[in-house]
Amino acid sequence: MHKHLNVNPEVKRALDDRRPVVALESTLITHGLPYPTNIDIALQMESAVRESGAVPATMAVLDGAVTVGMTEDQIRDLAERPAGTVRKCSRRDLPIAIANREYGATTVAATMIVANMVGINVFATGGIGGVHRGQPHDVSADLIELGRTPVAVVCSGPKSILDLALTLEVLETQGVPVLGFRTDVLPSFYSSHTDLQLDQRIDSTVEAARIIAAARSIGAQHGVLINAPVPEEHALDIGIAEAAIEQATAEAEEAGISGKDITPFVLERVSKLTDGKSRVANTALLINNARIAGKIAADLCQL
- Positions touching ligand PSU (CB under 6 A) are 25, 27-28, 31-32, 90, 107-108, 126-129, 140-142, 159, 263
Least distance (Å) between residue 52 CB and ligand PSU: 22
Closest contact distance (angstroms) between CB of 109 and ligand PSU is 6
CA nearest to 59, candidates 126, 20, 117:
117
**Cα separation, 181 vs 280, whole angstroms:** 20
Q: Which does 253 bind (CB under 5 to 8 A by kind): Mn ion, ligand PSU, none?
A: none
Q: How far is the CB of 58 from ligand PSU (least distance, A)?
A: 12
Say how far apart CA 303 and CA 300 lie, in whole Å.
Answer: 5
- Are residues 281 and 238 in contact, defined by beta-carbon separation less than 8 angstroms? no
CB count, 10 Å around CB of 44?
15
Give the nearer residue to Mn ion in terms of CB position, either 69 or 129.
129
The most distant pair of C-alpha atoms in the chain lies apart, rounded to whole Å, by: 54
Q: Which is nearer to ligand PSU, 10 or 251 (CB)?
A: 251
Identity of the residue, 81 or 216, whose beta carbon is nearer to ligand PSU in the bound complex = 81
Closest separation in Å from C-beta 140 to Mn ion: 5
Name the catalytic one among 88, 145, 159, 277: 159
Nearest approach, Cβ of residue 131 and Mn ion (Å)? 9
Out of 25, 145, 277, 295, the active site residue is 25
Surface-to-core class of residue 4, CB atoms within 10 Å of its CB (0-12 exposed, 13-18 middle, 19+ buried): middle
Amino acid at 86: V
**Among residues 24 and 215, whose Cβ is nearest to ligand PSU?**
24
159 catalytic per annotation: yes
Residues that bind Mn ion (CB under 5 A): 138
Q: Which residue is nearest to Mn ion (CB)?
A: 138
Is 272 considered catalytic here?
A: no
Q: How far is the CB of 140 from ligand PSU (least distance, A)?
A: 3
Q: Which long-range contacts (CB under 8 A, 24 or more apart) does 211-218 make?
A: 211/177, 211/179, 212/121, 212/122, 212/152, 212/296, 212/300, 213/300, 213/303, 215/150, 215/177, 216/150
Show the DSSP H helices in 134-204 as ranges: 141-146, 164-173
Mark out the alpha helices in 133-237 (DSSP H runs). 141-146, 164-173, 205-217
C-alpha separations of 14 from 10, 21, 34, 115, 118 in Å? 6, 7, 32, 14, 11
Identify what 159 binds: Mn ion, ligand PSU, none; CB under 5 to 8 Å per kind.
ligand PSU
Question: Which CB sits closer to ligand PSU, 103 or 299?
Answer: 103
**Catalytically annotated residues:** 25, 159
